Structure 1
Amino acid sequence: MRPITRPVAALSAVAALLALAGCAEKADAGDDAIRVTATDTACETSRTEIAAGHLELAVENKGSKVTEVYVLYPDDRIVTERENIGAGTKANITAEIQPGAYEIACKPGMKGDGIRQKLTVTGGKAAKRDPRLDEAVAAYRTYVREQAEETLPKAEAFTEAVKAGDLAAARKAYAPSRIGWERTEPVAESFGDIDPKVDVREDGLEEGQDPEKDWTGWHRLERSLWKDGKITDRDKQLADRLLADLTDWQRRVGTAQITPTSMANGAKELLDEVATGKVTGEEERYSHTDLVDFKANVEGAEKAYTLLRATAEKNDAALVKRLDAAFADLDKKVDAYRDGPGSHDFRAYDTVREADRKKLSDAVNALAEPLSKLAAAVVGK
């Protein structure tokens, strides 16, 4: 989960990334798009009713704060989202939507429940879908389930080490326990309630939450293991809580709403995770295991892209050529920091020089821009 308050040293880099991301999506939206104008105090939409099928949002952030825009089911599950829309920038969001009642939410400052507008989706003609996309969704659903199932024993090893008071073992087990989550985080975030329990950082807590009472999950334990250098009775309780929440995630992940466009948008969200947390060194600020998360995010994005690639190539071969090259370049740059054969064997991020971080950042930017167009290519828009 991405917080807003960031260390001063990282602000300029993040601002540049967000500005680039916004500038990359200024292509004109279709005539049937819903125009969303977001400010610090309002979320205005040009339409409140559309026919089922393809949904396109043309978002413009006219506020002074970074914002995010969601389309939500009545129970607050996420249909689609776009985070980190910088002040003064635009973003186009493409998704698939069924008949029903929904809400469009703008979250200035990326905090709280957001400013909401009702959206009614009426019965419409189902959009024609390439049969390969159904196969892609089925394969991706299997992948997500596998990642959750593989995470649980690793999380159990981590939490058992914490409960045993074994600082060294807990530190060793921490990063591996997060890989499956980081590969599939957009699916977990679609439920709305799990991510804040397991992956929030202290500066991502909502206003009024007490870090000592309300902060739970991996990063709370990360602080104890590396910054405090000790394991308390409270940490042992938090370990049990983390495992219970991850078990809940594993049980529920098979029920997630997955569509070809949610896969494509999720891949872009994973690159946003890299740009706003991993490249800056904020995600794992105590353990400095950011490169493990970085690689997992990229792997998850690449998995979704690979499954969608055939259809995207049919509709936009030039885009696929760019994506192939950008993924290959980013993979090569990240893998240069491996220090062992395991999926978690990477250098500590605090040993990576600023100049080298810039190279990683540039490679992320080179991939993020074309990846933002994948959803539109998948549906042939």
Structure 2
Amino acid sequence: MRAARHSVVTAVAMATALTAVTACTSKSGDEDGERVIAVTATDSKCETSKKEISAGHVELAIENKGSKVTEVYILFPDDRVVSERENIGPGTKQRVTAEVKAGTYEIACKPGMKGDGIRQDLKVTGGSAAKRDPRLDKAVAAYRSYAQAQADETLPKVATFVAAVKAGDLEAAKKAYAPSRIGWERTEPVAESFGDIDPKVDVRADGLEAGQKWTGWHRLEKALWQDKKIGAEEKTLADQLVTDLTDWQKRVGKAEITPTSMANGAKELLDEVATGKVTGEEERYSHTDLVDFKANVEGAQQSYELLKPVAKENDPALVTELDKQFAALNALLDAYRPNATSYEFTAYDKVGAADRKKLSDGVNALAEPLSKLAAAVAK
């Protein structure tokens, strides 16, 4: 999954920054109420305060007592993701709100953000969860349509990229590379909820699991910019990219989407920016990080805008802050966009350290209040 691609050092710093506000308020599951499950993660254990809970909203109060950055998931039996929180640094705490139906699940902690994780069973019984606000059902339906549209629009752009690769046209392939990724980056949490697609199409070399073959966009990115050649293997990998993304396109409509998964997904997209784009690690060969950065922010903002009517009613101060920080981050980012009507951005290797710091600060300023959106819509 995505977390395997992140820099551990950067993740520690980001996690520490983002948890500073909430760390002092985290308590045990019993002290915090029946809808809270305390999750204690170490390098070798994943302890949960409850093994059973009734259907409805559940909050994980996560504490990482290990020495490694970790991530915590609520998973369906087939490993699809219900909800997740990544980049939880040693000695820090995070809280994540999710919505669960009756059934069997697993809570997984992944020390070092690698492998299948250490897992605990969670049984969810039928409950008397409050009826969902119809505005939230409308938001989910609208977001599902948005995610499908992004997938549908991606495939033709990928076809253009792949055609250039198969023709051996290095410059045309470079030009088509970044545009082919925009729809994916806007809706990546939906793709990652399936568990098996992201490692095929978007993994970086340092995120490969033992024995995993490197496929997808970044393998081709390396060939185009670093190796400066297109061989038979690259042409085969280009065809595989189309196959894997077509699978994603067909499965988007079946994704489990809830108001809280939308809100958490928005936060995940900001984490993507913090741990990959701002650092320059995501597009390390092409330096097209700002294209991905903008797409991540747009995807997060789409979720937020759809949930905003309910969030504004439940937590008006939060909405005021989110509006302010989205506007500020977009203004910072668009300064590197020569033409507001195009999706062309300054190459990230041309962005100096001071400007990268400003972008990082903008991400942090938005990510902290965005982490509270799920709780606001679940009230």
* Partner Cα distance (1:257, 1:25) in 2: 28
Q: How many residues align?
A: 372
The aligned counterpart of 2:276 is 277
Residues 200-221 of structure 1: CA deviation (Å, up to 9, x unaligned): 0000001343xxxx00000000
* Partner Cα distance (1:3, 1:285) in 2: 16
1:353 is matched by which residue type in structure 2?
A: G
The aligned counterpart of 1:239 is 238
* Partner Cα distance (2:15, 2:263) in 1: 19
> In structure 2, do the counterparts of structure 1 residues 140 and 340 end up closer, same or farther at CA, with 3 Å as the change threshold?
same
Q: Give secondary structure in 2 for the equivalent of 1:3.
A: helix
Q: CA deviation at 1:313?
A: 0.6
Residues 144-181 of structure 1: CA deviation (Å, up to 9, x unaligned): 00000000000000011001100000000000000000
The aligned counterpart of 1:202 is 205
2:3 is matched by which residue type in structure 1?
A: R
Pairing 1:116-135 to 2, within 5 Å after superposition: 116-135=119-138
The aligned counterpart of 1:377 is 376
The aligned counterpart of 1:46 is 49
Q: 1:31 aligns with which of 18, 28, 33?
A: 33
Query: RMSD in angstroms over aligned alpha carbons?
Result: 1.2
Q: 1:22 aligns with which of 19, 26, 29?
A: 19
Is there any run of 5+ residues in structure 1 with no aligned partner, and where? Answer: none
* Partner Cα distance (2:125, 2:13) in 1: 40
1:206 is matched by which residue type in structure 2?
A: E
* Partner Cα distance (2:12, 2:64) in 1: 14
Native 8 Å contact 1:65 1:86 kept in 2: yes
Pairing 1:72-83 to 2, within 5 Å after superposition: 72-83=75-86
**TM-score, scaled relative to structure 1:** 0.95
Native 8 Å contact 2:26 2:93 kept in 1: no
* Partner Cα distance (1:252, 1:198) in 2: 15
The aligned counterpart of 2:262 is 263
Pairing 1:295-310 to 2, within 5 Å after superposition: 295-310=294-309
* Partner Cα distance (1:50, 1:283) in 2: 38
2:90 is matched by which residue type in structure 1?
A: A
Pairing 1:99-114 to 2, within 5 Å after superposition: 99-114=102-117
Q: CA deviation at 1:14?
A: 4.6
Pairing 1:1-381 to 2, within 5 Å after superposition: 1-3=2-4, 6=7, 11=9, 14-26=11-23, 27-28=25-26, 30-32=32-34, 33-209=36-212, 214-380=213-379
**TM-score, scaled relative to structure 2:** 0.96
Native 8 Å contact 2:76 2:82 kept in 1: yes
Native 8 Å contact 1:25 1:372 kept in 2: no
* Partner Cα distance (1:14, 1:74) in 2: 28
Q: CA deviation at 1:130?
A: 1.5
Q: CA deviation at 1:98?
A: 0.3
- Report the more deviating stretch, 125-134 or 239-248: 125-134
Native 8 Å contact 1:39 1:63 kept in 2: yes
Residues 279-300 of structure 1: CA deviation (Å, up to 9, x unaligned): 0000000000000000000000
* Partner Cα distance (1:343, 1:62) in 2: 46
2:26 is matched by which residue type in structure 1?
A: D
Task: Give percent identity, aligned residues only.
Answer: 69
Q: Give secondary structure in 1 for the equivalent of 2:4.
A: coil
Is there any run of 5+ residues in structure 2 with no aligned partner, and where? Answer: none
2:17 is matched by which residue type in structure 1?
A: L
1:169 is matched by which residue type in structure 2?
A: A
Q: Give secondary structure in 1 for the equivalent of 2:3.
A: coil
Residues 268-327 of structure 1: CA deviation (Å, up to 9, x unaligned): 000000000000000000000000000000000000000000100100000110000000
